[in-house]
A and B are shown apart, each in its own frame.
Chain A
């Protein structure tokens, strides 16, 4: 959870929406005088300081709405961090499970994967082993947070493999509060630093921002934060969804593909191809074909309409575009101008498009599902249409050279008609205000707060420490630097702790080099008068907000002295009384200083208060609107979360399963002893209820016996033998897991060849054998096997069920098998096996059991067929004597 202090730290953010709005206003209008700008930041500063005084906080609708919004934002920040972590886990397991399925994974790695899964639950709270550590790490993280250049530097040093861990900590922890301006602004400062480096070190313009680098990874991660997600949802989701509903609308305009589907359609209808439609043609021939042209014409028009629609919403969504994303666009513009002073506007737009469209908008259009914009995978045609739209948007941003796909030239009119407005839009994207001034102030505010905390996990701290350590020589060249000092004191980074020992800690942040500022006025270069003025304004605003809306006192023009007096004499409300008295004091103080005058009813102060109140009135609506929007975002990321959790659960159960087998493998390696065979007669098994049905003629049953062998734990071979014959008639491979699976699914009988087994009863026998594996005693009592049969039945089957929940739910896979006897039981049989599975295909051995490959005695004299066994060199080397 976020520490309470963090919420209090972000109290100032209740006023931040207006700052953010302010800052999206054109920076070039230049209308703001320094005086107003200073006033502005002082207001915010004052209010943010005041927010610490909880007891004086007022409770009106606005305050409640703001509080709800704040809580929501904290939840979103936290949830998106969780999702990021989960996504990483799922990504990791995606790649590993596939290996596992194919048995290509070393045992250690399996255990590592298992560890990865073992505890995905929430971390429990904890603290550092000792206070000294807490202090040092608190100082280190404060330094990292408030001086983004260190992390920026680190981002350039780490490899792509390390960057995910780093970005997780940076974007979701150190600057994790996505809606708090200070953290957001520090993060953006870090971006700027990394971007600048990138621009300075890319040799030529055409490869700028092209490669996948830490910067591009940062951009991806950044666009995945709450604001970016909610933008995509509001701006793109409707368009995409309405397009996806048109499942059968084919807008392919590649002449070859159009031609091909035309030919296929004719062939499918059973007609023969007319002579003017040869089956295979070149691109030029296809493009020249009149029927193809006839089809493509209207498709180009429709594609143009759709793409225009997308552009309309994107352009109209200018104000919705998250500040940070616009600010990055702005940085790209100014960096380009700085490095290439002659850069044309088109060239700048190309680069902005290389971020805004290529890395933000278009991935969401092409794969909307992975951005949670739609629920199902789109059908083939809409998917293709979406790809075309993304290509068209990208072409708009980058002057298309039709050298690539010549047929795209048909869309040139679209490019022509939109070029201008899209370039204008991209330039407007850049028109956001810088935040350095507010950032500076935010930093002071942060310092003045005594309870700045960071919620971070032990492993995150250690991982960050380890990274800093690893790149120590580069990062802390100057040995007297603060970072270098801290790293020296901390010593080598501790190793990562196991997941279950990992703790979430609330790390108090502080700086040993900067004492908390008491004298803010000096630090911020503002006068005492201004501070009083702000305090007075704030006090009056609070009093007025607490009044009933139709109160006489609230009438305009405000009579400040009366308001203060009324507040000071309120009954049963000490807070109000204190506010009133303070307001009266401030009024007279300000008058003495000559800031305001009783004669004009304190108009200088009054006007600002009235403005503020008017602004707050509309603020409430905006807060509510924003809350609604964010609730939607929150819902989306929660849905995504549950999807990820399900995915992980699936992997988890699968893995447990595999682990059971892998444990068997280790045992086998240590002790390759094969257990069995245990011999049962047909009659015994019938008596125990293991065999519930038998096709074996009664007169032969007495000669039938069953040998159960367990070559490895969890694997069993049941050989059906006939007295007097050396070899068994049939061998059946069984995997314990498969049987368990059947049992879990309530599938009670297993028909193999002549006999139908009861799964649970069979399991009981096998289980007995499997127990025997782990206990030497039992394995020594081999001869007693058949006599101990009855006791083994008593083994509770429940033990297996708790062992693992299964991946192979009915939705996952379905297996059907049929055994048809042709002629007499001893003749060949037709066995069909129908399997359909999603995800993992396994259990093959189960339903195509060993007898498929088994030599029947008739063929005993036949030489083994020669098989091609292709060996890799390593395999061959391993087989040769060393």
Chain B
């Protein structure tokens, strides 16, 4: 990207079941407005300039359709996104359940267990209708490999900026990590001792990681 010399641009995708408040959350973050209306989304995109840890970043936010009939589009969103907000409503347990499949699909597509994502329990203002306990949601986030869990209220603008910033920070960390790995790789190339799959679990994990790196990386290896 030519732009990378200037500001960082990150693609963030908001996913989740229908009616959990993805658009409200996004509109509240980008436009500082609260949408009262019944207005199902098909696909909306936004851009927001924000400072994260002292760096100017541009967030390209894709707000997606929660309606299950549009799931055919999901894969494309997942491919294009770098960071993901997985949103459910604390008033609906099934909306949390749906995220599990969604996350599986995401991890498969990204071929990685470390995709920048945040678990978001929206509608925290509707405490009286709560159907998902904090402990439950937190357990889910733990089971997902300790991903951050936030409870938000788009209506009251609670934790709204935080979730977007968190996912952004994760992407940035990933980039730094990636840079480190690449540097280390360049150093190691050609010196690495070969490891075989038969060395057991550790070996296969390693092989997986290696494959990942290779796929993303160069197709030409020099001996």
Contact = CB atoms under 8 A, between A and B. Distances in A.
Interface stretch (A28-36, A207-215, A473-481): A207-215
Contact of A206 (B38, B89, B181, B187): B38
A404 B27 contact: yes
Contact of B206 (A102, A835, A862, A869): A869
Nearest to B194: A853
Interface of A is mostly: mixed
B19 interface: yes
B37 A206 contact: yes
B105 A832 contact: no
A854 interface: yes
Nearest to A827: B223
Contacts of B190: 852
Given A102-B111, A864-B193, A868-B181, A366 B73 contact: yes
Nearest to A353: B40
A404 B20 CA distance: 16
A668 interface: yes
A672 B199 CA distance: 11
Interface string B117-128: 000000000000
Interface in A804-844: 828-835, 841, 844
A848 B217 CA distance: 14
Interface stretch (A10-18, A552-560, A594-602, A872-880): A872-880
Interface stretch (B78-86, B90-98, B161-169): B90-98
Contacts of B44: 404-405
A829 B190 CA distance: 12
A220 interface: yes
Given A853-B195, A867-B188, A868-B181, A391 B42 contact: yes
Contacts of A5: none
B152 interface: no
Interface in A392-411: 394, 398-401, 403-406
B134 interface: no
Contacts of B187: 865
A493 interface: no
B39 A363 contact: no
A367 B67 CA distance: 13
A192 interface: no
Interface string B1-39: 011001100000000011110010001000101011111
A854 B194 contact: yes
A98 B105 CA distance: 9
Given A212-B98, A841-B215, A404 B41 contact: yes
A557 B125 CA distance: 77
Interface in B105-158: 105, 108-109, 111, 113, 129, 145
B193 A398 contact: no
A868 B184 contact: yes
A673 B104 CA distance: 36
B191 to A, nearest CB: 5
B42 A212 contact: no
Given A848-B221, A864-B193, A205 B18 contact: no
Contacts of A282: 47, 49
Interface stretch (A41-49, A354-362, A565-573, A765-773): A354-362
A343 B39 CA distance: 17
Nearest to A205: B38
Interface string A198-242: 000001011110111100110010000000000000000000000
Most chain A CB neighbours (cut-off 10 Å) among B37, B69, B195: B69
Contact of A872 (B47, B111, B145, B206): B145
Contacts of A780: none
B39 A859 contact: no
Interface residues of B, number: 78
Contacts of B219: 832-835
B185 to A, nearest CB: 10
A502 B15 CA distance: 39
A354 B23 contact: no
Contacts of B31: 403-404, 406
B207 to A, nearest CB: 8
A40 interface: no
A859 B209 CA distance: 25
A874 to B, nearest CB: 10
B58 interface: yes
A280 B73 contact: no
A370 B72 contact: yes
B56 to A, nearest CB: 10
A254 B39 contact: no
Interface string A691-732: 000000000000000000001100100000000000000010
A390 interface: yes
Given A399-B37, A879-B202, A855 B67 contact: no
B3 A279 contact: yes
A865 B191 contact: yes
A854 B195 CA distance: 9
Contacts of B111: 102
Contact of B43 (A358, A387, A731, A852): A387
A528 interface: no
Contacts of B198: 668, 672, 674, 711-712, 715
Contacts of A851: 223
Nearest to B222: A830
Given A95-B104, A830-B222, A363 B70 contact: yes
Contacts of A119: none
Interface of B: 2-3, 6-7, 17-20, 23, 27, 31, 33, 35-47, 49, 58, 63, 66-70, 72-73, 89, 92, 94-95, 97-98, 101, 104-105, 108-109, 111, 113, 129, 145, 181, 184, 187-188, 190-198, 201-202, 204-206, 208-209, 211, 214-215, 219-223
Instruction: List 4 A-B pairs, minimum CB-CB distance, nearest first.
Output: A210-B19, A853-B194, A363-B69, A98-B108
Given A102-B208, A403-B31, 19 more contacts: A95-B104, A160-B97, A207-B19, A212-B68, A360-B69, A367-B73, A398-B37, A399-B37, A399-B39, A401-B39, A404-B31, A404-B35, A405-B45, A668-B198, A711-B196, A832-B221, A833-B221, A875-B202, A875-B205
25 contacts: A98-B109, A102-B108, A102-B111, A103-B208, A210-B40, A211-B17, A279-B3, A282-B47, A351-B38, A359-B67, A359-B69, A362-B69, A366-B43, A366-B72, A367-B70, A398-B40, A403-B27, A404-B35, A405-B44, A832-B221, A848-B214, A854-B194, A865-B188, A867-B184, A869-B206
